[in-house]
Amino acid sequence: MTLRTVSLSKDGDSWVFRYPAGQEDRIVEEIMYLADDRGSAFDWMDAATLSFQVTELAARDCHTQPEGEIATD
């Protein structure tokens, strides 16, 4: 199983998310949940930044798969 990591540091706070390949939707939901928490210093711009990182990692996998092969991680 391939684990992926996205992270963000801001104003002395750090957030690190690790997730298995294929669970991009789930991790983006968790990121959005954190952004919606008014008690957190994590805001919607942070969520957008991390969601973009998740998307870039997924897209990179699409480009590295041999033609006709489907990723099953």
- Do residues 54 and 24 lie in contact, with contact meaning Cβ atoms separated by under 8 Å? yes
Query: Quick one: average pLDDT of 23-43?
Result: 96
Supply the pTM of this predicted model.
0.80
pLDDT of residue 56: 95
- Tallying the residues shown for the chain, one arrives at 73
Residue 70 has pLDDT above 60, yes or no: no
Q: Mean of the pLDDT values across residues 47-62?
A: 93
pLDDT given for residue 63 in this prediction:
67
- Name the DSSP letter for residue 10: E
